[in-house]
Structure 1
Amino acid sequence: MKLSILCCALSLLQAVLSGPGAPGSSAEALHRRNIFYVGGEYVFNATQGGTILINDQYVEELTPAGGVKHPYPIVFFHGGGVSGAQWLNKPDGNPGWATYFLNQGYMVYILDIWSVGRSSAEDFPAQIIGGTVELVEVAFSAPELYHHYYQAQFHTQFPGNGSIGDPAFNDFYARFLPLAFSPRIENITRTSTCALLSMIGPSFLISHSFGGSVGYLTTDGCPTLVKGHVSVEGDSSPYANYDAGVFGVNTSSPTRAWGLADVPIAYDPPVTDPSQLVTTTTGELKYTDGLLSQYPCIEQATSPPPRKLANISQVPVLFLTTQASVHVLYDQCLVQFLKQAGVIVDWILLAQVGIKGNGHFSMLEKNSDQIAGVILKWLLGKE
């Protein structure tokens, strides 16, 4: 009996360890890899009795083996709770978007946003775990198994069944890290990423979720160095955090006092205090078959005339929303806000162009290359 139990335990362990993410099972593009850090400053630390480096940010530089064929590199910003690894091989072992764009001949840069992964901090902000198994299933890998919003039922593209014990889920969940959201992170990442762009020249930004706010802040900080910004469900809903809707809460949580962030952003006419941004709520809560299907939006009021985003409006944006992510309930709010503030936005609802079944981590799902193809077409039009 003891031997039987031991064998079962070993079999379960083997199933977990030999999943799609096991060593040697990915098929990334051939490339030359370099790593370095950007930003940062030396300060004296009294506790340690010496000088230390703080606020620097980790960067991976990937050069395609077949040579660089495009004039502008791509800089990837990961989402909240994960690291730059989300752009590498997918949970099913297939290559991710870094490989896709390397194969197209793009120079690729992958960041770990400051305080996450390999980006250092002398004293990390207060952090929480990257997400419980239950939260990750509900919000990302298996929303179709729950009934928190109407569109969740259409989710079909996550490899495997999206639940604990499935090899692809085990690999996906292992990528989650402690995270924090703070003005300090926003300011440091804006500064360090602009330092990167000053080194490598004008670039395209591709951001996901929390990385969307970092992408807009980078554009705000150095607009002449940003050729275009592709935001994949960028979590920058103006003045609010709607993600509580995943749990059936039908109200937003106040945040982002400056519209897109909790730190100052350049407006025209200038804003010296966020209280000068006059807002209004448009639209209403909508339900389909008794389930939440759309949120109202907070945007600038029409009187006085809406202020323009002085720097961010200089850079075109491609905004992508999937069919089954909770973002389909409120992404229209960010798009409306950006357009009202003078930003040229191409908004693509992927289901309307025949790309269906995706959740929030679409770059890691089975049909991710189709979505990358939409992005590629837009990038080529901006070169």
Structure 2
Amino acid sequence: MTFQVTAALAAASMIALAGCSSLQTSRPDGVGSLAVAEVGSFHTGGRTVSLEGLPIKQVRFTPTSPLTRLDPNGEFAVEQMYTQYVKLAPQARRAPYPLLMWHGGGLSGVTWETKPDGQPGWQMFFLKAGHDVYVSDAVERGRASWARYPEVFNSEPVFRTKKEAWELFRIGPPDSYQDAAHQRAYADTQFPVAAFDQFMKQGVPRWLTNDDATARAYDALVQRICPCVIMVHSQGSTFAYTMANRYPDKVKAVIGIEPSGAVDPATVDLSPLAKVPLLFVWGDKISQTARWQSIQAPLKKMIAAVRDKGGRADEIDLPGKGIIGNTHMMMMDHNSDQVAALIQDWLVAQGLAAR
């Protein structure tokens, strides 16, 4: 039976129909295979809110349906987080703990799935490396859904322009994007530039006032799944380091893919975090980008504080290793498997994976 593992619902249906405990799967191009035991999903976190005093309307739910009374007053479930998982069959599993993949700002769990150019992403890479993989959509993102503004979310959503993504993610230098017809990428960029518009379709609204709700949902996820290893990208990093500092017995390692949020050692005791192996992976041209130097500086401060407490905080500087052109979205870059292999080697060295 051949199918793509990231098609979670279709996969789950086929497993159920097969009535078997595991399912051998293969890529359409015939490269590699997976023995999958279970594909599924769940929500964590969230709360119930009650709304009242909102106007009642008459609406049509489909073009041909009759007018229906819509009453927006009552109880709602809000601030939940979504997680999809793929569990390997025991004979295929080569990691003692599941790998949790947490995305960055204005993005969702799609970050880790099929790349914008159609090639397999890191979800598939690490499944094939023997990890059970859990990919989340945080509060307000993707399949986690969002809530009414301003009744529940008390600030308006923000959206990322193509220009901001192009330049912030270091696909091209500052002022290198005007519009789709006038864009200039770095000559050595590893990002699949022809798939940039496809990548931008992954963008979702983001609120700047939901960190507490998001932290509670991640806490509930850690309580449900861990012990685990967390791989986190960009804005999601603050939550990962906070969880590791809170639960060093549950979080066995944190892999920061260009993290953009740190825990400040001036205000938080990082002694627990020093018990958790940390890896930081940095792409190219950070030293040439003032904004990224300012983003990186608090992380460097946290790394130094963890090391001062005797903790392990390793860094992979890709250009320092002669690997040139990687962007902030290195899990989507042409050489993403090369970068993932370095991370897998680190996990093996920590006893958190086997070859």
TM-score of the superposed pair, with normalisation by structure 1: 0.67
CA contact (8 A) 1:335 1:347 kept: no
Deviation at 1:176, TM superposition (A): 0.8
User: 2:305: which partner in 1?
Assistant: 340
After TM superposition, list the pairs within 5 Å mapping 1:63-142 onto structure 2. 63-64=87-88, 67-122=92-147, 123-140=152-169, 142=171
The alignment's C-alpha RMSD in Å is 2.9
After TM superposition, list the pairs within 5 Å mapping 1:225-236 onto structure 2. 225-236=250-261
5+ residue gaps in structure 2? 1-26, 54-71, 178-184
Quickly say closer, same or farther: Cα 1:186–1:29, change in 2 above 3 A: farther
Q: Secondary structure at the match of 2:219?
A: helix
224-233 or 340-349, larger mean C-alpha shift = 340-349
User: 2:79: which partner in 1?
Assistant: 55
Instruction: Provide the C-alpha distance between the structure 2 equivalents of 1:154 and 1:44, rounded to a whole number of angstroms.
Output: 54
CA contact (8 A) 1:57 1:114 kept: yes
Instruction: Provide the C-alpha distance between the structure 2 equivalents of 1:49 and 1:147, rounded to a whole number of angstroms.
Output: 48
The size of the alignment, in residue pairs, is 285
User: 1:156: which partner in 2?
Assistant: 189
CA contact (8 A) 2:167 2:176 kept: no
Instruction: Provide the C-alpha distance between the structure 2 equivalents of 1:128 and 1:49, rounded to a whole number of angstroms.
Output: 22
How far does the alpha carbon of each residue in 1:321-344 deviate from its partner, in whole angstroms, 9 at most, with x for none?
A: 111354763425412333225353
Quickly say closer, same or farther: Cα 1:144–1:312, change in 2 above 3 A: same
Quickly say closer, same or farther: Cα 1:154–1:212, change in 2 above 3 A: farther
User: 1:36: which partner in 2?
Assistant: 42
How far does the alpha carbon of each residue in 1:126-184 deviate from its partner, in whole angstroms, 9 at most, with x for none?
A: 34443112222222263148479xxx95742011xx3xxx4x112111111111223xx
CA contact (8 A) 2:157 2:208 kept: no
1:176 aligns with 2:182: no
Instruction: Provide the C-alpha distance between the structure 2 equivalents of 1:359 and 1:146, rounded to a whole number of angstroms.
Output: 16
User: 1:46: which partner in 2?
Assistant: 52
After TM superposition, list the pairs within 5 Å mapping 1:199-348 onto structure 2. 199-236=224-261, 259-260=263-264, 277=266, 308-325=269-286, 326=289, 329-330=293-294, 331-341=296-306, 342=309, 343-348=311-316
Quickly say closer, same or farther: Cα 1:101–1:63, change in 2 above 3 A: same
Instruction: Provide the C-alpha distance between the structure 1 equivalents of 2:302 and 2:110, rounded to a whole number of angstroms.
Output: 31
CA contact (8 A) 2:170 2:285 kept: no
Instruction: Provide the C-alpha distance between the structure 1 equivalents of 2:46 and 2:293, rounded to a whole number of angstroms.
Output: 38
Percent pairwise identity: 29
Quickly say closer, same or farther: Cα 1:335–1:50, change in 2 above 3 A: same
CA contact (8 A) 1:219 1:226 kept: yes
Q: Which amino acid aligns with 2:347?
A: L
TM-score of the superposed pair, with normalisation by structure 2: 0.71
